[in-house]
Amino acid sequence: MSAEGVLLSLLNAAFTVVGLIAAVKYVLPRIADVLDSAVEDKAAVDALVVLLEVFLIVTAASLVIGFLGGIHGKLNIYLSTIKPAIDMVTNLKVYVEWLVVGVGALLLVRTFRGGTGKKTSGY
């Protein structure tokens, strides 16, 4: 691989990590704030945010492996040993998507209902 190709692969990997850090440090806490205002179960919100964080990390790791794997054949062989673990986690993606859709539906119901979601006695 040429020097330009190696440099581009390293830059792609580096900017993927920068994007991951920005998402984990700035975006996920805002998502948690929105969910905290809509869902009263703090433990569930924390668990969902951790789950999203794991998926971001696994996705970024998969991208970095793809970028760095093309630099050298032997490096690709070593990096491919991590691939089965990444594949296992990414196979759960469909279930996480449905979970996020469910939380979104909960937010919509609470918004249209106009309440806080807390039960009142009716009197």
Check residue 19 and give its pLDDT. Answer: 96
pLDDT per residue as tens digits for the range 31-86: 899 888 877 778 878 888 888 898 899 999 989 988 988 888 788 888 888 888 88
Quick one: pLDDT band at residue 123, thresholds 50, 70, 90? very low
Complete DSSP assignment for 63-82? HHHHHHHTT-HHHHHHHTTS
Report the half-sphere exposure of 54 (CA within 13 A, side-chain side). 16
CA quadruple 46, 47, 53, 57: dihedral sign: positive
pTM: 0.74
pLDDT digits (tens, 9 = 90+) for 76-113: 888 888 888 888 888 888 888 888 788 778 777 876 77
